[in-house]
Amino acid sequence: MSTTTTPGVRPLVLVVMDGVGTGTGDAYDAVAAAATPQLDRLRDTGIHLEVAAHGTHVGLSSDSDMGNSEVGHNTMGAGRIIPQGAKRVDDAVRGGEIWEGAWQDAVAAATADGSALHLIGLLSDGNVHSSWDHLMLLLDHAKSDGVTRLRLHTLFDGRDVEDRTADRFAARLEEALVERTDGTDLDWQIASGGGRMVTTMDRYEANWGVVEAGWRAHVQGEARPFESVSKAITTLREETPGISDQLLEAFTVVDADGEAVGPVRDGDAVIIFNFRGDRAIELTRAFVEGDGFAGFDRGTVPDIFFAGMTLYDGDTNMPPVRLVQPPTITDTVSEVIARSGMHQLAASETQKYGHMTYFWNGNRSDPFDAETETYIDIPSDQIEFDKAPRMKAAETADYVIKALEEGGYTFLRSNLAGGDMVGHTGNFEATITAVEAVDEAVGRIATAVEAAGGCLVVTADHGNSEDMVERDKQGQPRTSQDGTPLWKTAHSTNPVPLYVVDYSGHRWEPAEGVEAPGLSNLAATLLVLLDLEVPQDYRPALIAPA
């Protein structure tokens, strides 16, 4: 660890409480229900604001779109509002860009010699990983461009939409296929599926077994066989009553002879229609990497044309072929800090490691300056997160505290994952425990920052744990027929807190006249606290000298 610190600059510590928003304080607000004496102390000690973390505030299409960790960290690091996710693809659709280049190459492959077009992705209208509208447009253009054999490999959500709705989405998709193929000779079928947390959509190499399960289902056609997607969902639910969509076992659809209807064969074309990279990149690697691939035993890899929806990893140029080019994000806050020569630390457990590095840095995995930047990845538990809801909050705090005590870093950023990852399970009591673990970690870090004469900034990337129930259009909680709450596993559109406490003697007050304060204002706020020049195209800081 470096032992040099920029002269005259006290350490600045940022803690992102993933998924800890500001809710109504009702009986379904796990943040309000948790004991959070440390956050209460910060609120009373320094500046406390609320900032927007959803919709157009973070570059998404509309303010009905929930925030998420990827766009949240992208926006915090960028200091500007960048077109993100579905909006970036929407722009490419409106301009026609998406139907040129790679799409035409995919169609050419899929229409040659009896080949097929395979579409793999999350069956959801949550607009976080994928878009229902994008999928329908892909189907429309596949038909108009002459694709006669098409196979769909569907991953069930249960996190970004109401849980236990996989059957409804599957039925909608079946109807969409009938609408486009009825009266034609088109051979279009759903070929495989599974819940996103156990099939295909692993991230940060936390559990390659999840991707292997998807590979066996989608590519090899060797997962548990069912005669239809609806039969698979019904059976799996009967076997495990109350099971979340995200945990439904991987399966393959078979014909009357027990043969898989849609394995991937040589000459086929495969498109992943997820636009978010973190949970698409591992399957992408399985398709495009050569003999050096070490994630799992792929068996015989089919010789296919492969494309992703957009760029999933800029540093590795993954995937090499994509339908839509990503936004370019330069001059992120850590790039500005790196140019100053200040030393930086990023620490997080695996589930959010890429958020504190890749997404924070504007879709760049590598440090801007390896001599002055250190990245710490704390391995996450490979179990359902409500089984160990404290996750790695304490261990993450340990790294930050040790770095402060040893000295050397001017800017230290970290992510505490529990409010989000446990919130996604829909387990209210476990989420309370997760939030309390986050609060304890924040308190320990705050004590260390105070001892170092530094400055502490605490915020969140989006809401989740503060709103744990499904609600009707009037905002009232929804219940099942027996009166139990319909627990929500998705993010929210709530604002998130921002705390600034400077223990160095500097005095600050909220800046006046900042229009629609949001996560995009954080980068300028950090640079002001570090006494660095704020780029002209950044949104303004939320604090000013008192």
Verify whether residue 228 is a known catalytic residue.
no
For residue 345, report the phi and psi dihedrals to the nearest 5 degrees: -125, 135
CA–CA separation, 301 and 412 (whole Å): 43
134-140: Cβ within 8 A, 24+ apart? 134/86, 134/89, 134/93, 134/273, 134/275, 134/309, 135/173, 135/273, 136/176, 137/93, 138/271, 138/273, 139/176, 139/177, 139/180, 139/188, 140/180
CA–CA separation, 397 and 176 (whole Å): 49
Non-local (6+) Cβ contacts of 513 within 8 A are none
CB 15 within 8 A of CB 47: no
376, β-bridge pairs: 347
Which SS3 state, helix, strand or coil, does residue 138 take? helix
Burial per residue of 110-122, b for 16 or more beta-carbon CB atoms within 10 angstroms, e otherwise: bbeeebbbbbbbb
CB 117 within 8 A of CB 152: no
Q: Where are the beta strands (DSSP E) in 18-146?
A: 47-51, 117-123
CB 159 within 8 A of CB 483: no
What DSSP string describes 488-517? Answer: --S-B---EEEEEEETTS--EEEPSS-SS-
CB 418 within 8 A of CB 390: yes
What DSSP string describes 11-28? Answer: -EEEEEETT------STT
CB 150 within 8 A of CB 187: yes
Q: Which helix (H) or strand (E) holds 110?
A: helix 102-110
Q: Which structure tokens are listed for 311?
A: 């760029």
Q: Which helix (H) or strand (E) holds 153?
A: strand 149-156
CB 247 within 8 A of CB 281: no
Selected catalytic residue, list 2, 61, 69, 230? 69
Q: Where are the beta strands (DSSP E) in 6-148?
A: 12-17, 47-51, 117-123
For residue 137, report the phi and psi dihedrals to the nearest 5 degrees: -65, -40
CA–CA separation, 144 and 156 (whole Å): 27
Burial per residue of 265-279, b for 16 or more beta-carbon CB atoms within 10 angstroms, e otherwise: eebbbbbbbbbbbbb
For residue 311, report the phi and psi dihedrals to the nearest 5 degrees: -75, 130
Catalytic residue positions?
Answer: 69
